[in-house]
Structure 1
Amino acid sequence: MILNRIYMVSAVRATILLFLALLASLILAGSAAAKPLVEDARLGLHPDKTRFVLELSERPQYRIFTLVSPYRLVIDLPELDWPDRQETTPQAKGLVSALRYGLFTPGTSRVVLDLSRPAEVSEILTLPPRDGRHHRLVVDMAEIEPAVFRKRVQRKVHRSDDALRQASLAMPSPPRKPAQDQRPTIVVDAGHGGVDPGAIGVSGTREKDLVLTYARALQDRLKASGAYNVVMTRDDDRFIPLRGRVDIAEKHNGDLFISLHANTNPSSRVKGASVYTLSENASDAEAAALAAKENRSDVIAGVDLSSENPDVSQILISLARRDAMNSSKSFANVTVEELGKRVDLLRNTHRFAGFAVLKSASVPSVLFEIGYMSHPAEEQQLQSAAHRKKLIEGLVQAIERHFDVQQAYNRN
């Protein structure tokens, strides 16, 4: 009896110890996985410099460099937890005309400072906590002559001792469909993402978040039909270069590429969905302005465009591209018809311009603006599940009609 009781007590004690060890390991794992927290960010103006200060919960690793056309200062850091609070986004001042931050690639957060004039990094300090405060990264910038910037500063990279690896823009490619899968491949592209928030609505809605919701809904609806293979260019809050989105569509032999966006306009009265296709010449000034804005996505994210092949950024219309463009226009026209039955449309709904994200040589591509976040009522409507369902249903019906026509053409 006594031996049994001793055995039971020992077994209980061993179980408790095992549980505590497991709990401790889980806590440690959670702590290890926690991202450094941004406590504050601010800009300071001094007679001879502009100072950027970032307060963090951990000692920062960094990679800092400048870019031209336009002038920018880029700070790469480990993936951060940056609270979505207004007070952690400093207002522009001094040499800094605008500031953005966000996930650049998995594992790397990026801060992009737009510079009003050419400047160099004059000093970088990493200060340890003082009086219980946080680690600080201090970056001082001083104005210099444009010629000096191009000759001496443009290619210079500043790294911490525990140097942060250069962020790679190579994106993990979604799995390819099996060769025997004859279903059409629809590539769904949620515009912007990560460090590029896109347009901001009147109530603070970020384009990158809104269109990701619509992209996921479109993916779910298409997969549920069983008629299509669906590839997402992004399924989370990450940045993908414009050319990278096109590459994903082409590598997966896409049969249709749909890039989802949400627009803003200086006038709060403009509203309605619209569809855009690629053209050397814009259909109107509004389409040209929109293309110019959307094509700045890589600039906004701090991508170095100076080494790009000029042929990639130009519209070179081959026979294959002509076929893709004709198919794009056909799908856009069907989309306008289907959406017009369900939601409000912008006047002259099908427009065209030189959108970089539509420049596939082989994949029919459209850019679809779901509506205007600068129109208070439409911004609210765009966030509703009921409106999203109507719009997605219109897109799906347009896709079905498009491929019915394609199949009939192939049979004949």
Structure 2
Amino acid sequence: MTRFVQTLVSGCRRLLPVAALALLAIFAWRGEASARDMVITGMNQSAGQSRYTASFVLRGNPQTRILRLANPDRIAVDFINTLSAAAIAAPPDNSLVDSIRHGLVSSDRYRFIFRLKRQAFAAIRTEERSDGQVIVLSIQPSDAAHEQVASVETPGASPVAVDSKQNAGKPERQLTIVLDPGHGGIDNGAVSRSGTHEKAVNLELAFALRDALLAKGGVKVVLTREDDTFIPLDERAAIGRREQADLFISIHADSIRQSDLRGATVYTLSEMASDELSRQIAASENASDRFAGEEWQQEKPDVVDILLDLTRRETVSFSEHFASSLVEDLATRNIRLINRPKRSAGFKVLKAPDVPSVLVEFGFLSNRQDEKLLQDEAWREVVAKATAEAVMNFFGGEQEEDRERCTPSGECDKSTTTTAIDPLKAD
């Protein structure tokens, strides 16, 4: 039994005996374990005018990192390879903390952001208690002399890295990005009136995006196919999981009845389609498996488990957040988008529970103008560079750290929220 399974089963045995057994069944089916092996099971808060304390109860011993973020003043705490199953209450009214947000900011990093009512500095320490290991975050008021986040370690404490906003703009390790050129082989995908095959366009777009990402450095890029080969949808998703991808991008250029519709669309996974067009697109893309053998068409067993659901929920949240960021970046680089460019539907290729995934329709072969652009090498390079820039900006932390949940009137949510904020109201 892997260390991940042992950790999660021991953490669930008292409260979730059935779920713990289901977890074993999941990994018997999956044949592999997730990289995440720590769980936040609770967070307790205490507050006064001079100090705010958040105590995180954990299963496991994660590495942590503190960030100080400005404009507005915030303290962020990152937990590496960790998920949260804790119910997070709003901070007390009399505390230094105005609001709390939390969620995945990369595939291996779970972040809590504490928005402050005034400037403050933070310290973190680790304690061993009867209910498990506890990481204690203390926030105290500061004056102008406190320019950096303070850190304190006790014997046995987890490593603590102190960072600033200036150091948060670049990925901290090599990223793994899986690019999935849709269709291939016997599956042509959409075919334009002039005979252009979607499978060929998708592959050329994938090559251009691969080159643009590699030019950025610090990125490993894997393609699900590099030639005219048919690959079933389940296998495409499995490649992302085997590579432990930070992001999976499925690349498409579909065809629809409305020949006047043109522009790019970014899709995420949802049980119900966000609209009729998204439902039609998903049905078209999912039909690729009609070319697969019987073994690929059989549905995999869907074992329900609270921790798998937690992983899936955070993965979808992360995917939605990236989709919003990508739409925004493409728009600022004058890449044509359809109306409401961020949408969702039940795409089979996006169903890996632990790999953030999006499907991008870069245009429509049913539109002559889009078809011309999709066949233009120079245009493909432009859109590939814009997409690569969006990926690197997102994983560099510039998108998440400045985003708040606000209404059009400027009122920001004071409650605790899970990070998956869409500033574009695309749906």
1:148-181: CA deviations, max 9, x gaps? xxxxxxxxxxxxxxxxxxxxxxxxxxxxxxxxx9
User: Which residue number in structure 2 is paired with residue 291 of structure 1?
Assistant: 282
Corresponding residue for 2:369?
377
Q: How far off is 1:257 after superposition?
A: 0.3
Counterpart of 1:333 in structure 2 is: 324
TM-score, scaled relative to structure 1: 0.52
Aligned to 1:396: 388
Per-residue CA deviation, residues 230-249 of structure 1 (Å, 9 max, x unaligned), is: 11111111011111011110
User: Does the aligned pair in 2 maintain the 1:278–1:352 contact within 8 Å?
Assistant: yes
Aligned to 1:202: 193
Letter in structure 2 aligned against 1:243: D
Q: Tell me if the contact between 1:342 and 1:390 (Cα under 8 Å) persists in the aligned partners.
A: no
Q: Which amino acid aligns with 1:297?
A: S
Match of 1:311 in 2: 302
Q: 3-state DSSP class of the match of 2:207?
A: helix
For the Cα contact (< 8 Å) 2:325–2:399, is it kept in 1? no
- Name the SS of the counterpart of 1:318 in structure 2: helix
Equivalent position of 2:252 in the other structure: 261
> How far apart are 1:303 and its partner, in Å?
4.4
Q: Which runs of 5+ in 2 are unaligned?
A: 1-171, 402-427
Q: How does 1:9-408 map to 2 (within 5 A)?
A: 182-304=173-295, 307-311=298-302, 318-340=309-331, 341-405=333-397
**Shift in Å, 1:385:** 1.6
Check 1:208–1:306 CA distance in 2 against 1; reply closer, same or farther (3 A cut). Answer: closer
Say if 1:222 and 1:212 are closer, same or farther in 2 by CA, change over 3 A. Answer: same
- Sort the Cα spacing of 1:244 and 1:406 in 2 relative to 1 into closer, same or farther, 3 A: farther
* Deviation sequence 1:263-293 (CA, Å, 0-9, x none): 1111211111100000112100111111111
Q: Following the alignment from structure 2 to structure 1, what is the Cα–Cα distance between the partners of residues 297 and 199?
A: 26
Q: Which amino acid aligns with 1:229?
A: K
Question: Please, what TM-score do these two structures have when normalized by structure 2?
Answer: 0.50
Equivalent pair of 2:394/2:400 in contact (CA under 8 Å): no
In the alignment, is the contact (CA less than 8 A) between 1:279 and 1:352 conserved in 2? Answer: yes
Query: Relative to structure 1, is the Cα distance of residues 303 and 369 closer, same or farther in structure 2, using a 3 angstrom cutoff?
Result: farther
Deviation digits for residues 299-349 of structure 1 (CA, Å, limit 9, x no counterpart) = 13454556433529xxx9711111111111111111111111222111110
Q: Deviations over 1:122-147 (max 9, x none)?
A: xxxxxxxxxxxxxxxxxxxxxxxxxx
Aligned equivalents of 2:232, 2:302: Cα separation in 1: 17
Q: 1:306 and 1:395 mapped to 2: Cα distance?
A: 32
Q: What's the C-alpha RMSD, in Å, of the aligned pairs?
A: 2.1
The number of residues matched between the two structures is 226
For 2:180 and 2:388, the matched residues in 1 are separated by 15
Q: Cα–Cα, structure 1 residues 342 and 303, in superposed 2: closer, same or farther, change >3 Å?
A: farther
**Residue by residue, what CA displacement relative to the aligned partner does 1:102-131 show, whole Å, maximum 9, x if unpaired?**
xxxxxxxxxxxxxxxxxxxxxxxxxxxxxx
Q: Which amino acid aligns with 1:225?
A: K
Structure 1 vs Structure 2: percent identity of aligned residues?
Answer: 45
8 Å Cα contact 2:262-2:338 kept in structure 1? yes
Q: Is the 8 A contact 2:234 2:296 kept in 1?
A: no
More helix by share: 1
Cα–Cα, structure 1 residues 399 and 307, in superposed 2: closer, same or farther, change >3 Å? closer
Aligned-partner Cα distance in 1 for 2:212–2:369:
26
What is the CA–CA distance in structure 1 between the aligned matches of 2:258 and 2:242, rounded to whole Å?
A: 40
- Aligned partners of 1:253 and 1:355: how far apart in 2? 20
* CA deviation string 1:65-122 (max 9, x = no partner): xxxxxxxxxxxxxxxxxxxxxxxxxxxxxxxxxxxxxxxxxxxxxxxxxxxxxxxxxx
Q: Could you report, residue by residue, the CA deviation over 1:26-75 in whole angstroms, capped at 9, with x for unpaired residues?
A: xxxxxxxxxxxxxxxxxxxxxxxxxxxxxxxxxxxxxxxxxxxxxxxxxx
The verdict on how the C-alpha distance between 1:408 and 1:289 changes in structure 2, with shifts beyond 3 A counting, is closer
One-letter code aligned to 1:325: V
Q: Please state how far the C-alpha of 1:202 moved relative to its aligned partner.
A: 2.1
Larger Rg: 1
CA 1:277–1:408: 2 relative to 1, 3 Å = closer
Paired residue type of 1:403: F
Q: How far, CA to CA, are the matches of 1:302 and 1:270 in structure 2?
A: 34
Paired AA for residue 244 in structure 1: E
Q: Which runs of 4+ in 1 moved over 6 A?
A: 406-409
Distance 1:396 1:238, change over 3 A: same
Q: In structure 2, do the counterparts of structure 1 residues 202 and 302 end up closer, same or farther at CA, with 3 Å as the change threshold?
A: farther
Letter in 2 for 1:389: E
Match of 1:405, SS state, is coil
CA distance in 1, matches of 2:363, 2:215: 25
Alpha-carbon displacement from aligned partner over 1:182-203 (angstroms, at most 9, x marks no partner): 3010001100111111010121
Letter in 2 for 1:369: E
**What corresponds to 1:72 in structure 2?**
none
Secondary structure class of the residue paired with 1:325: helix
Does the aligned pair in 2 maintain the 1:195–1:301 contact within 8 Å? no
Give the 3 Å change call, closer, same or farther, for CA 393–204 of structure 1 in structure 2.
same
- Listed as ranges, the gaps of 5+ residues in structure 1 are 1-180
Q: Could you say if the C-alpha distance between residues 243 and 222 of structure 1 is closer, same or farther in structure 2, counting changes exceeding 3 Å?
A: same
